[in-house]
Structure 1
């Protein structure tokens, strides 16, 4: 199983699956972007085996580039794990305090955000494509965790996973204007006069949102692997038929 692990200790395991040219559908993990759902199931079974858990332990959302979040309970175990239709609807962020659930986020250029909090025993994932970023999904999730779950921002560790790089993320003025309206993304954008396109660093914009929520910079790590360039990356921009990475985190239990 071609996988990149971001953390693996007594409490948590988190990471992302990688594109693998030798695997079925190149190790695609998403029902909504597959040729054969059975292949996705087999790929997820291999990931579950690698993580030493059950394929039914995955919890998946039907991602819609929203700013919606969902607190996962044991009743959600297995949602979207084996049948896409059972996924949590219209949701792009999941978090839980329950052990032995694999929270899942699917990306191919968009920014995955993985976080954990030892003090509260809380873990989560966020899917932040450019639409989610301009809707400030990450900032909203962390404001919710502070207000509703009583989390202190300085207690979080956050890993911003691999995504499309600023160099390869070209957009027109309509998208630029939306990032400009945030009021804090100017330094993460530039204009290419040759192509007449704007280039935006979505990862650094998300990092700024985390800092605005109070997460210390030293607790935020960015995986700068470009999904467009890297052979390990699925890129929707490069190939509209691309599969999806599965970014995951699990709180370990007895």
Structure 2
């Protein structure tokens, strides 16, 4: 079986579940726990893209997969709190569980949100992806965590740095104390866009001069197509708001290059599944 472990992440394989953990966050295992699910046999989809309810059997499968993953890291799946993820730049603050005996999933309270911040112990913050970037944040000084979904639209809205700014404003975090970990996602090698999307990135990130930086954006030789490194964009803008370079940890894993182990919208197309990232204060 392929092993995705590298200098930044360790690939854990158990009888019923496999997942990644960031080596940096494992240094704080007495304070937090976290995980990124691995495997295309799991699917953490709890609602359709059009927000309609899933068939009962599909929802039940997602709940079973959540139970197994939560059990593997010794947290209670009933304490899950999940954003509804609609490609916004809205970030919620979770102060308590809403459902007492069931995960906080598909709730109106988290509609039009793509990130959650908390200082509340035992809440298990969840996001899902199939190519989009998921970022876990942890401030060990103030004991604040966050979990965000930053697809290309969220990246254009700079949701990652808006999360940092909200952590600073609401919880008195200092950017230089914050650790952020970037989960597996589509990478520049496969994130191909047309001119309309390319133009949006050029306009939004004028400050990065991305049209002149082939590390960030590169035109294909024979087509009117461009490849964009949204992970690198997030790294740069997070650094620009004060995060230390050594605290911006990238899994370095491409979802499409590893589509046998990680769900990918672009590879699977219709009927694509979802992986999840979880983080919780103990």
- TM-score (norm. length: structure 1): 0.91
Matches within 5 A, 1:191-202: 191-202=219-230
Deviations for 1:200-241, whole angstroms, at most 9, x for unmatched residues? 011111111211221011110111111012022110011122
**CA displacement at 1:19 relative to structure 2:** 1.8
Tell me the distance in 2 between the aligned counterparts of 1:87 and 1:228. 33
Aligned match of 1:31: 46
Aligned match of 1:214: 242
Number of aligned residues: 247
1:185–1:117 distance in 2 versus 1, CA, 3 Å: farther
Aligned partners of 2:81 and 2:104 also within 8 Å:
no
1:4–1:242 distance in 2 versus 1, CA, 3 Å: same
1:64–1:211 distance in 2 versus 1, CA, 3 Å: same
Runs (5+) with no aligned partner, structure 2: 1-16, 49-53
Which deviates more, 42-51 or 61-70? 42-51
Q: Secondary structure at the match of 2:239?
A: helix
**CA displacement at 1:53 relative to structure 2:** 2.1
Tell me the distance in 1 between the aligned counterparts of 2:252 and 2:231. 8
Q: Secondary structure at the match of 1:84?
A: coil
- TM-score (norm. length: structure 2): 0.83
Matches within 5 A, 1:21-100: 26-32=41-47, 36-76=58-98, 81=103, 84-85=106-107, 88-100=110-122
Taking only aligned residues, the RMSD between alpha carbons, in angstroms, comes to: 1.9
**CA displacement at 1:84 relative to structure 2:** 3.0
Runs (5+) with no aligned partner, structure 1: 21-25
Aligned match of 2:3: none
**CA displacement at 1:47 relative to structure 2:** 1.1
